[in-house]
Amino acid sequence: MSRPWEVLERIETRDGVLELRRRGDRDFLISIDGRVLMTSATSRSEQVLGAEASRALGGRAGAEVLVSGLGMGITLRAALDGLPASARVTVAEINPDVVRWCRGPLAGLTDAALDDPRVRVEVGDVAEIIADAALGRRERFDAIVLDLYCGPERGRRRNEDPFFGRRALQRTHQALAADGVFALWAEATDASFEKRLGRAGFAFERRRPPGGGLRHAVYLARPKSARRPGSA
């Protein structure tokens, strides 16, 4: 018989109740409004997203990387493992409680990724950070890595979506260095999103995390003016 989940914390948010649960020593679950966002036991797609984003940079010295959201820190950990010591990683997380969890009960999952000297945390909306970079109010990024709990396939307000809509993708393109990388998690591949990527000036390729079961999808995109990925 499996052990029951223990609720470590329950927080009211505008999107519903955010919960952190634990079962045993290293089995964690985060849910919101009753929907499971992620578990530590099924994190292949997060690991692939972070690893592929850093690999695409090819060890670029001094790389400026933006990672959002934080989740359990697994995407961040995978990205850090592939980045050089000179990289600088900005983590954008809108909920300060998630940051606190990753510095507290979840820290053991990632070898305390938030304590890595390359990392700084900005509590706020990542869309605003991307817009600032696009408008020249801050340095452009060599990589933008989005691991949000709703991916581009969610189907509502596709053109107006603040992260995956037409204008949002154009801003992301402008926020990247000329040879930058835009990496993102998706619950499934989505043809309409892929069309928007192309119209925003991106060439892209897809990755499917290995293994059986629900594997989700990872997109890697670059400005078309840069070196194109192997497939699109």
User: Kind and range of the H or E element at 102?
Assistant: helix 96-103
Distance (Å, whole) CA 220 – CA 151: 14
Question: How many domains is the chain built from?
Answer: 2
107-131 confidence digits (pLDDT tens): 999 999 999 999 999 999 999 999 9
Is 66 a member of any domain?
yes
pLDDT at 153: 72
Residue-wise pLDDT tens digits, 132-172: 999 999 999 999 999 998 888 765 556 789 999 999 999 99
Q: Please check whether residues 190 and 209 belong to one and the same domain.
A: yes
Residue 173 lies in a domain: yes
Low-confidence ranges of the chain (pLDDT < 50): 212-213, 228-232
Give the residue from 213, 138, 140 showing the smallest Cα distance to 174: 140
Do 16 and 29 share a domain, yes or no? Answer: yes
Residue 55 placed within a domain? yes
Report the C-alpha gap between 87 and 61 in whole angstroms: 6
Claim to verify: residue 72 and residue 29 sit in the same structural domain? no
Residue 150 domain-assigned (yes or no): yes
- 231 domain residue, yes or no: no
Q: Are residues 108 and 2 both part of a single domain? A: no
Same domain, 69 and 182: yes
Range of the domain at 73: 43-223
